[in-house]
Amino acid sequence: MQHRMLAFAALGILFVAVAYLAAGLPTADFYVNFYEAGRAVIHGRSPYDAPAFSSAPWGVVPVVPFALLPPVPAHGLYFAASMFVLAYVAWRLKATPLTIAAMLLSPTAIGALLVGNLDPFVISGILFPPILGLLILLTKPQIGAGVALYYLIDFARTKRVLEGMKIFAPTVAALGLALWLFPAWHTRALDLPANPWNRSLFPFSVPLGLLLLWLALRNRNPYFALAAGPFLTPYLTFYSYLAAQIGLLHVDVEKAIRRDVLQVILSVFLWIIMLRLRL
């Protein structure tokens, strides 16, 4: 019990230290996108009053508590929370410290943290039961599409249609209401492929995405479907490939390669790609 309390105290100190150090770091999205969207909701307006906000409307939910604070401390706490969410997902997957460090030190993880986007919170949806997890993952369809396809195919091929309808009902209802109440979301989403920060390899990446989706179905493993998502979408920023890295943290990867070795290889490879292509 004492060791657990000491561990929680150490984590609390680390969280505060990270928040303090990160507060003044530059960020591309947090202030002009998510913080502004959160402030709009707090004042009873649409999150799409923030011109840069293009995620699903419920994507503003994790941002609202931070938007209650002044911008700079809000950014520091959001950065720390995002980092801890990524580490928690890896810990839940029983990843080793080296594996977690390799993932967190990859350019995609660092990019996601510095940009201040929703990716860590969206990716965490893989930990939830699918009735809720799908809703979280589809906050950014470019991250969650692979998992949605996985469950659709899995329910169909196992003839669990009624169960599938129950699982998908909340997400379908939320998507329908969102498109009706927030037409700006649909408009902005359609414009995303033309975004200058688009680093999707679509359609050339589709075979890799389909291979990972096949592995997911073969192994009944939605984490491989999470890894497939970034390769099946026409829009993706470079740091959102982090979803593929998280998907490949699952222990089933050990059937082919050690997870720590794979994550180190991925981190080094991504650093080379980013530095050579200046992504």
Query: What gap in Å lies between CA 101 and CA 97, rounded to an integer?
Result: 6
pLDDT given for residue 193 in this prediction: 84
Q: Residue 186: which residues within 8 A CB-CB, separation 6 or more? A: 179
C-alpha distances in Å from residue 75, one per residue of 69, 84, 161, 166: 9, 14, 43, 37
Domain boundaries, the chain: 2-277
Query: What gap in Å lies between CA 81 and CA 18, rounded to an integer?
Result: 9
For the residues 232-251, what does the mean pLDDT come to? 94
The pLDDT tens digits for 75-86 are: 999 999 999 999
For the residues 141-146, what does the mean pLDDT come to? 93
Going by C-alpha positions, the residue among 146, 143, 167, 144 that lies closest to residue 155 is 167
Q: pLDDT category, 274, cuts 50, 70, 90?
A: confident
pLDDT given for residue 159 in this prediction: 79
The pLDDT tens digits for 8-31 are: 888 889 999 999 999 988 888 888
- Between 191 and 71, the higher pLDDT residue: 71
243, pLDDT greater than 80: yes
pLDDT given for residue 11 in this prediction: 87
Query: What gap in Å lies between CA 94 and CA 82, rounded to an integer?
Result: 19
Query: What gap in Å lies between CA 47 and CA 36, rounded to an integer?
Result: 8
Please answer whether residues 71 and 79 qualify as being in contact, where contact means their C-beta atoms are separated by less than 8 angstroms: no
pLDDT given for residue 125 in this prediction: 96
Q: What six digits make up the tokens of 104?
A: 């967190």
Please tell me which of 80-89, 149-158, 270-279 the model is most confident about, judged by mean pLDDT.
80-89
Q: pLDDT category, 279, cuts 50, 70, 90?
A: low
pTM, whole model, 2 decimals?
A: 0.93
CA angle 260, 265, 269 (to 5 degrees): 150
Helix, strand and coil percent figures for the chain, each rounded to 5 = 75, 0, 25
Using CA atoms of 247, 253, 259, 263 in order, give the dihedral in degrees to the nearest 10: -40
The pLDDT tens digits for 27-40 are: 888 888 999 999 99
Q: What sign does the CA torsion over 126, 176, 112, 272 have?
A: positive
3, pLDDT greater than 80: no
pLDDT given for residue 186 in this prediction: 85
What DSSP string describes 174-213?
A: HHHHHHHH-HHHHHHHHHGGG-TT----TTTTHHHHHHHH
The residue count for the chain: 279
Q: What six digits make up the tokens of 18?
A: 């990270």
pLDDT given for residue 263 in this prediction: 95
Judged on CB neighbours under 10 Å (0-12, 13-18, 19+), 198 is middle
pLDDT given for residue 70 in this prediction: 95
Query: What gap in Å lies between CA 243 and CA 119, rounded to an integer?
Result: 8
- Between 160 and 112, the higher pLDDT residue: 112
